[in-house]
Amino acid sequence: MERKTPKHLFWRRFTKNGLAVCGSIIVILLFFVAAFAPSISPYDPGQINIKDMLQPPSKYHLLGTDQLGRDVLSRMIWGSRISLMVGFVAVGIATVIGAFLGALAGYYGKWIDTVIMRFVDIMLCFPAFFLILAVIAILEPTIWNVMVVIGLTSWMGVTRLVRAEFLSLRERDFVKAAQAIGSKDVRVIFLHILPNALSPIWVSATLGVAAAILTESALSFLGIGVQPPTPSWGNILTAGKDNIEIAWWLSLYPGLAILTTVLGYNLLGEGIRDAIDPRLKN
């Protein structure tokens, strides 16, 4: 009988989860749209045409136009790039910071663990969204500032997850063996323990992308995120708010795009979690 590896078991559990597969399809489609935006976008997202302002969906503009006559579908296609960029850069920053601090706290323990975890507790006392609002209000609201601020205010959960994994793994025989042959702490942490603690990090990162996209959309909707004329689902929604009574499509389609994207990443993250450890499934 063929012996099944952990990868085979993971893939088998994952593909049997219909919701996880649906989430994967949504995420793949979003990548496709973002990657081929110049090819599939029917119009230039910044092209202004006053004659076509606030036109409803038609065969010429499938999702209608905005208050400057720009094609909404084209702007949403290009806006998917912004969403992916924000999601991955912000989560990348949060994951690096969280994994590093969590590794130090879990491996060394004692006063290092106490200091790091008390700092995590202090950060968790501040409402994350309002902290982001305060920082963005001080800084210039550019796309890079938005990504960095979201990343710097969302690493606490990763720190807790990595710390918990390190507390368990540091007592394993393979770690004791590495320490016994004189391996330095850096080598033990990054070459022996951290690779075995990646499972919860992957799950947290996947779910974090959805949260980052939602946060960026909210900031752009409030006017302190991605600034026009750069297309973003959030600032398209802002135009929809200003014209809600006469241009319903400006609110409906970006809202559905945000909902679908966040749902896709959440389903994918939950599917990965259940496939890694089916005991966690409710």
- Residue 159 structural domain: 6-280
Residue 199 within a domain: yes
The pTM is what?
0.84
Residue 105 within a domain: yes
Can you spell out the DSSP letters for 80-118? HHHHHHHHHHHHHHHHHHHHHHHHHHHHH-HHHHHHHHH
Nearest CA-CA partner of 272 in 91, 64, 84, 27: 27
Give me the residues paired with residue 65 across strands.
71
- Provide long-range contacts, Cβ within 8 A and 24+ apart, for 179-186: 185/107
Could you tell me the CATH number of the domain that includes residue 143? 1.10.3720.10
How many domains, the chain? 1
Express each pLDDT in 14-38 by its tens digit: 888 888 899 999 999 999 999 898 8
Residue 111 within a domain: yes
Asked whether 230 and 113 are in contact (CB, 8 A), the reply is no
Q: Residue 71, SS3? A: strand
Q: What is the pLDDT of residue 25?
A: 92
* Alpha-carbon gap, residue 103 to 114, rounded angstroms: 13
Residue 257 within a domain: yes
Residue 141 within a domain: yes
Highest average pLDDT, of 127-131, 151-155, 273-277, comes from 151-155
Residue 95 within a domain: yes
Residue 175 within a domain: yes
Express each pLDDT in 27-85 by its tens digit: 999 999 998 988 898 888 888 888 888 888 888 888 888 888 888 999 999 988 888 88
CA of residue 84 relative to chain centroid, distance = 8
Give me the residues paired with residue 71 across strands.
65
Nearest CA-CA partner of 85 in 34, 132, 33, 46: 34
